[in-house]
Amino acid sequence: MAGRDPEPARYYVGVDVGTGSVRAALVDQRGILLAFADQPINQWEPQFNHHEQSSEDIWAACCVVTKKVVQGIDLNQVRGLGFDATCSLVVLDKHFRPLPVNHEGDSRRNIIMWLDHRAVSQVHRINETKHSALQYVGGVMSVEMQAPKLLWLKENLRETCWDQAGHFFDLPDFLSWKATGVTARSLCSLVCKWTYSAEKGWDDSFWKMIGLEDFVADNYGKIGNQVLPPGAPLGNGLTPEAAKDLGLPAGIAVAASLIDAHAGGLGVIGTDVRGHGLACEGQPVTSRLAVICGTSSCHMGISRDPIFVPGVWGPYFSAMVPGFWLNEGGQSVTGKLIDHVVQGHAAFPELQAKAAARCQSVYAYLNSHLDLIKKAQPVGFLTVDLHVWPDFHGNRSPLADLTLKGMVTGLKLSQDLDDLAILYLATVQAIALGTRLIIEAMEAAGHSISTLFLCGGLSKNPLFVQMHADVTGMPVVLSQEVESVLVGAAILGACASGDFTSVQEAMASMSHVGKVVLPRREDKRYYDKKYQVFLKLVEHQKEYAAIMQGD
């Protein structure tokens, strides 16, 4: 009897809108990336701490990359589409046209970016209310969340923006609306950034107390009164207009979206680890911490029951993995800080020239240069008298203190390539030490973590990965597909298509171990000392502030 033809492959498209670019991937049912494309997007910084983007520019970039990744395939095999994006705030009028979020009145710039810190005064007032909703964001709301930004718009752009606004979207929800015409919001965005409760819905008293009672009167129509779990199918799928824009068939399933870091968490936290000798193999999935490290870093831990961690966001129910509570730690700048430190150094032009001559990235060159100068000692020991506190953009977790600044101690007069390499190393170590501080806060509150799962741009840097293993004393798992955020977005599309019965089933089928990086146990004492110094740095910074503010 003749054998049956193999079942045709099933494809899913994941679209990821990061801080500086839009990326798309074509992914199959095993989680293998078959095609990838990226496209830069514009950013504006009209004044310090004001960061803006354009929703039209971002959608156009989504169309470019999606068309690229499906070139040459049978489009009938594309089963679903998933979006993730930064948690930036998109403002549209009642006819879904862009509104300006700036004093210049430029309506193209209708997005307040996630890293925008204009609403410092507003978030301070919100935190002074001590409203019970704040216990779900670690006790202190971040300036990067949406409530302070909305309050800023009401107080500063009343006529040109606030009074004309018809829709305030988190960027991931804007994208799914653009694709389907459905204004339903994802539980992920609303729970994590807008104070929505998966169990109780909106809290009228919170919005009234902070001066945004307008939303209550409107039955939350402008910010979302239909809410769906991530991965749920939206409406009738892709509209004919969006299908034409994206180069995909009309009617394919489109999923309720995720914030970008949460898509990364989804892409790695359910990985099948059998056969790698990891402690977490015999432990529940709650023993895993997903660390998504790019421009900033996010630390995603899940639990069966709610755990309240001071200074760490959450617990958020079903915001990433259905049925689990999520805690989200974070560092406001990580990749951006490393770039800042390296590019601002006097030896940077020399580094650029030498890296270019070797056809290497500046970071690959720095890593090899560190190996050259370390001599017989472990590379991490080069920073024995150079220490960095990494909060150049304030502390998100676990101190939740916007006023903290960066610190470097141990500088010398020399400014050569060796100095640059060692300062780069100390900065990477400081970020890893910050991760250790977050893990300790989570464990003190009731989490039990044994293994780190890293993804995002910085996880491609072997020094960054090894330092996280050494400083935390935990093994680090890297995915087979380095673009885990895109795999996470594709998992959403796969769930919406109905090809998997649950998000958990899709995670297990589409996430695979690529490499395990173990900590160097023999260096533990050194990093314990570095951690002691790290904690002293912030203690001293607070003492300096107290001295300067005293009589």
Average pLDDT over residues 376-404: 96
Label residue 6 by pLDDT band (50, 70, 90): low
CB atoms near residue 310 (< 10 Å): 15
- Is there a single domain that holds both residue 73 and residue 170? yes
- Is there a single domain that holds both residue 501 and residue 366? no
Where are any strands of DSSP class E within 364-507?
Answer: 387-389, 407-409, 451-455, 476-479
**What percentage of the chain has pLDDT greater than the value 70?**
99
Q: What's residue 8's pLDDT?
A: 79
3-state secondary structure 325-389: EEEEEEECCCHHHHHHHHHCCCCHHHHHHHHHHCCCCHHHHHHHHHHHHCCCCCHHHHHCCCEEE
Label residue 551 by pLDDT band (50, 70, 90): confident
Q: What's residue 3's pLDDT?
A: 52
**Residues 188-202 pLDDT 10s:** 999 999 999 999 999
Average pLDDT over residues 478-497: 95
Tell me if 548 is assigned to some domain. no
Tell me if 40 is assigned to some domain. yes
- Is there a single domain that holds both residue 131 and residue 89? yes
Average pLDDT over residues 75-100: 98
pLDDT of 486 strictly over 60: yes
Tell me if 219 is assigned to some domain. yes
Q: Which of 409, 427, 445 lies at the terminal end of a domain, its last residue?
A: 427
Q: What's residue 1's pLDDT?
A: 45
Q: Which of 254, 276, 303 lies at the terminal end of a domain, its last residue?
A: 254
- Is there a single domain that holds both residue 51 and residue 106? yes
pTM confidence score: 0.93
pLDDT of 361 strictly over 80: yes
pLDDT of 26 strictly over 80: yes
> For 530, what's the count of Cα atoms within 13 Å in the CB-facing half-sphere?
31
Containing domain of residue 148, as a range?
A: 11-254
**Mean pLDDT rounded to a whole number for the chain:** 96
Tell me if 545 is assigned to some domain. no
pLDDT of 438 strictly over 80: yes
Q: What's residue 5's pLDDT?
A: 55
Q: What's residue 305's pLDDT?
A: 97
- Is there a single domain that holds both residue 340 and residue 322? no
- Is there a single domain that holds both residue 291 and residue 238? no
**Residues 455-485 pLDDT 10s:** 999 999 999 999 999 999 999 999 999 899 9
- Is there a single domain that holds both residue 419 and residue 483? no
- Is there a single domain that holds both residue 329 and residue 339? no
Q: What's residue 482's pLDDT?
A: 86
Query: Scanning the structure block, which residue is given the tokens 């054998």?
Result: 3
**Residues 326-353 pLDDT 10s:** 999 999 889 999 999 999 999 999 999 9
- Is there a single domain that holds both residue 68 and residue 24? yes
DSSP letters for 151-209? HHHHHH-TTTTGGGEEEEEEHHHHHHHHHHS--PEEHHHHHHHS--BTTTB--HHHHHH
CA 251 – CA 345 distance, rounded (Å) = 52
The SS3 of residue 472 is: helix
Residues in the chain: 551
Residue of 224, 232, 296 lying closest to 18 (CA atoms): 296
Segments in 81-143 forming alpha helices (H):
120-128
**What percentage of the chain has pLDDT greater than the value 90?**
96
**Residue 220: which CATH number?**
3.30.420.40
Tell me if 530 is assigned to some domain. no
Let me know: does 542 contact 395? Beta carbons within 8 Å.
Answer: no
Number of H helices, E strands in the chain: 17, 21
CA 65 – CA 245 distance, rounded (Å) = 11
- Is there a single domain that holds both residue 199 and residue 285? no
Residue 473 in tokens: 């004393």
- Is there a single domain that holds both residue 361 and residue 459? no
Structural domain total, the chain: 3
pLDDT of 260 strictly over 80: yes
Tell me if 549 is assigned to some domain. no
Residue 299 in tokens: 């630390």
- Is there a single domain that holds both residue 316 and residue 343? no
Tell me if 543 is assigned to some domain. no
DSSP letters for 502-523? SHHHHHHHH-BEEEEE---GGG
